[in-house]
Amino acid sequence: MVLGMHRSGTSALTGVLRQSGLYLGAALDAPIARNPTGLQEPAAVLHMHEDLLNANGGCWHAPPDQVTWDKLHCAVRDLFIESRQGTGLWGFKDPRTLLVIDGWIEVLPRWSAIGIFRAPQAVARSLMARNGLEEEACYRLWEVYNTRLLQLHRLYNIPLVEFRSDTEKTRADMLRVVEALGLRSDVSLLDGRIPTHSAASDPETVPEPLQGLWRDLQAATHVAA
């Protein structure tokens, strides 16, 4: 599983993994305005996750406090897993997975994941431009998603990648995780078009309540390296 919040490089990382041999099956890979390599998400999982969040009183931009899977969502999940049998190393990506991952972990005894994160200012700018969200709401979402990402890293030793404005550094980090999976290294999908909001983020402008989480995520990438 590729784990990370919206507008944080999950599509770029998933595209690299696909180019390197990870089986994704049918995924949304048509170029779109703010995502030249496509979303790289299986439509069935995306819609199931959003419906699951709705059933628990939330949505991707208003995460519920807790998520309970019902029989219908479990059935969609199980059929998706069944469709991947015999394909070798397979995976999927949907940012909502961070909010509902317990339902996947309970049925995937040999699961693994890679996490990716991006500076809160860059994510906020991108969400405001794409979805028209208020800046404060964007920062709250960044905190919710990335708090969960850091928890999963600490619980399961999930490797983390920082999606930087420096493409070469991002490329090197992605190479590291691709090679750790035993896949062939191919980062040709990562190019100058990504990220869209590529201006470097000044650490001094990270909102004070997020600075500790931001530093912990960056430190976690050094541990994983």
- For the entire predicted model, the pTM comes to 0.87
Which CATH number is 119's domain given? 3.40.50
> What does 180-225 look like in DSSP terms, one character per residue?
HTTPPP--TT--TT-SSS-SPPPGGGS-HHHHHHHHHHHHHHHHH-
Q: What is the DSSP letter of 8?
A: S
Between the CA of residue 70 and those of 10, 24, 35, 93, 174, what are the distances in Å? Answer: 27, 25, 32, 21, 35
Domain residue limits at 137: 2-224
**Any idea of the CA torsion for 126, 127, 129, 133, to the nearest 10 degrees?**
-150
Q: What pLDDT tens digit does each residue of the chain (225 aa) get?
A: 999 999 899 988 888 888 888 888 865 444 444 555 555 678 889 999 999 999 999 999 999 999 999 999 999 999 999 999 998 889 999 999 999 999 999 999 999 999 999 999 999 999 999 899 999 999 999 999 999 999 999 999 999 999 988 888 888 888 888 888 778 765 555 554 444 444 455 666 788 889 999 999 999 986 555
Tokens matching residue 136:
């404060």
Q: How many domains in the chain?
A: 1
